[in-house]
Amino acid sequence: MKFLAKIFLVVFATLLITGCGQADNQQRQVALLFPNPNAGGIWKQVGATCEILMREAGYDATAQFCTDANDQIAQLKEWVAKKPAAIVIAAQDTGVLGEVLADAKAAGIPVIAYDRLIMHTDAVNYYASFENNSVGEFQARYVEEKLNLKSGAGPFNIEFIAGAPEDTNAPLFINGAIDYLKPYIDKGQLVVQSGQIAFKDVATEGWKKENAQRRMEEILRKYYGDGKSLNVVIASNDDLAEGLINAEEAVGYSGAKTIVTGQDAGENGVANIKAGKQTMTIYKNPADLCAKIVRMVKAVVEGSQPAINDVTNIKNDMVTIPSYLCIPMIVDIENIDVVKN
Ligand code: BGC
């Protein structure tokens, strides 16, 4: 009897310990999901940075990338079944996650949206990003200064290249720029020869530089032949800027040098700025954003106070999401050394 009781005790204790161990692991496990890194942006660097900061904070997190929106949904489903302490996600497609995030919410898993605001859901606890409309506005202010628009200079020709329709950030970036430059367009100091200014006309499927290149080649052939100048291109990120650069090379563009904006200070953007092919970029240091994300994870797991600087303005179609918005930075050849990507 005594012997049996001992065995029972050992088995019971083992069960208890492994059970607790599992609960403990779940308390430390954080899902870190990012878009397809091969379709533009600097998601590999972002993932690596977040992974390091998460681990330093004591969480078990490995950055995971997807191939497309369906793949990301499948990843999310797996995580919901595993019940991690939190899910951090930069959505591949910000419009299709409502259903799977409802499952996460039902399972009691907190969700934190990284960089891109997710639509059709009330399951997101926090959102951290950069001021996305400022990205476009900063590009526009840079151009305003370079071209001396305030003192009435012009007319200059300008075209716009926006990001992907499936990304909530894309219209914010381009409209941030267009809204700021609109008075100069209205006065005729800036002229959009193609007439393409609505988001649907300037958007780039999948943020892919090849798609931007195709559209810009058409525009260059049609409106900027015979040495006619395309003075400015507002490209919403470095990949789209590269699309324009490649298009100019492909058609043998021979007008005045184009001022080309970008975003991300990615490897290609930095190289193109150093080579004099791209004029500026917007630097969004991933470490700044990931640090806020770590605070948000801590808040949902430990009940501590997250860093929040906006509780009213960030709304999807269902709820207002407490957010932290970092301020992006203008970088050109003069201060390119600040980039740590
Ligand atoms: C990000 C950009 C990135 C783009 C393409 C956006 O949502 O904010 O930094 O360049 O996606 O991946």
Shared-domain flag, residues 274 and 312: no
| CB burial string 14-51: b at 16+ within 10 A, e below | eeeeeeeeeeeeebbbbbbbbbbbebbbbbbbbbebbb
Shared-domain flag, residues 263 and 184: yes
Higher pLDDT, 15 or 213: 213
Domain count, the chain: 2
> To the nearest whole number, what is the mean pLDDT of the chain?
94
Q: Is residue 79 part of a domain?
A: yes
Q: Is residue 204 part of a domain?
A: yes
**CA dihedral of residues 38, 332, 235, 208 (deg, nearest 10):** -10
- Ligand 1 center to residue 41 CA distance, Å? 5
Q: Is residue 9 part of a domain?
A: no
Domain around 230:
133-283
Ligand 1 atom closest to the Cα of residue 132 is 8
3-state secondary structure of 160: strand
Ligand 1 pocket test, pick from 130, 138, 237 with the greatest ligand atom count within 8 Å of Cβ, gives 237
Shared-domain flag, residues 36 and 148: no
Q: What is the pLDDT of residue 20?
A: 45
Q: Which uninterrupted H or E stretch holds 221?
A: helix 209-223
Average pLDDT of 32-57?
A: 96
Last residue of a domain, one of 231, 259, 283: 283
Confidence grade of residue 113 (pLDDT, cut at 50, 70, 90): very high
Q: What is the pLDDT of residue 22?
A: 54
Q: Quick: pLDDT tens for 61-106.
A: 999 999 999 999 999 999 999 999 999 999 999 999 999 999 999 9
Shared-domain flag, residues 200 and 163: yes
Q: Is residue 184 part of a domain?
A: yes
* Cβ proximity of 331 and 338 under 8 Å: yes
Shared-domain flag, residues 206 and 233: yes
Closest Cα to atom 3 of ligand 1: 41
Shared-domain flag, residues 169 and 244: yes
- DSSP E strands, 232-279: 232-235, 259-260
Closest CA to 267 of 281, 250, 287, 288: 281
Strand order in the sheet with 259-260: 190-191, 156-161, 232-235, 259-260
Task: State in Å, rounded, how far the first CA of the chain is from the last one.
Answer: 66
Query: Cα–Cα distance between 195 and 202 in angstroms, integer?
Result: 10
Q: What is the pLDDT of residue 84?
A: 97
Confidence grade of residue 32 (pLDDT, cut at 50, 70, 90): very high
Shared-domain flag, residues 118 and 183: no
Neighbours of 326 (CB within 10 A): 17
Shared-domain flag, residues 70 and 144: no
Q: Is residue 219 part of a domain?
A: yes
Q: What is the pLDDT of residue 267?
A: 95
**pTM score of the predicted model:** 0.93
Q: Quick: pLDDT tens for 231-286.
A: 999 999 999 999 999 999 999 999 999 999 999 999 999 999 999 999 999 999 99
- Ligand 1 center to residue 75 CA distance, Å? 20
Q: Is residue 338 part of a domain?
A: no
Q: Does the structure show a pLDDT above 80 at 337?
A: yes
Q: Quick: pLDDT tens for 182-240.
A: 999 999 999 999 999 999 999 999 999 999 999 999 999 999 999 999 999 999 999 99
Q: What is the pLDDT of residue 26?
A: 65
* Cβ proximity of 233 and 261 under 8 Å: yes
Q: Is residue 335 part of a domain?
A: no
Query: Cα–Cα distance between 319 and 39 in angstroms, integer?
Result: 29
Strands 232-235, 156-161: pairing is parallel
Shared-domain flag, residues 268 and 306: no
Q: Quick: pLDDT tens for 289-327.
A: 999 999 999 999 999 999 999 999 999 999 999 999 999
Shared-domain flag, residues 78 and 146: no
CATH for 107: 3.40.50.2300
Closest Cα to atom 12 of ligand 1: 41
Q: Is residue 334 part of a domain?
A: no
Shared-domain flag, residues 137 and 125: no
Query: Cα–Cα distance between 17 and 7 in angstroms, integer?
Result: 15
Q: Which residues contact 156 (CB under 8 A, 6 or more apart)?
A: 147, 189, 190, 191, 229, 231, 232
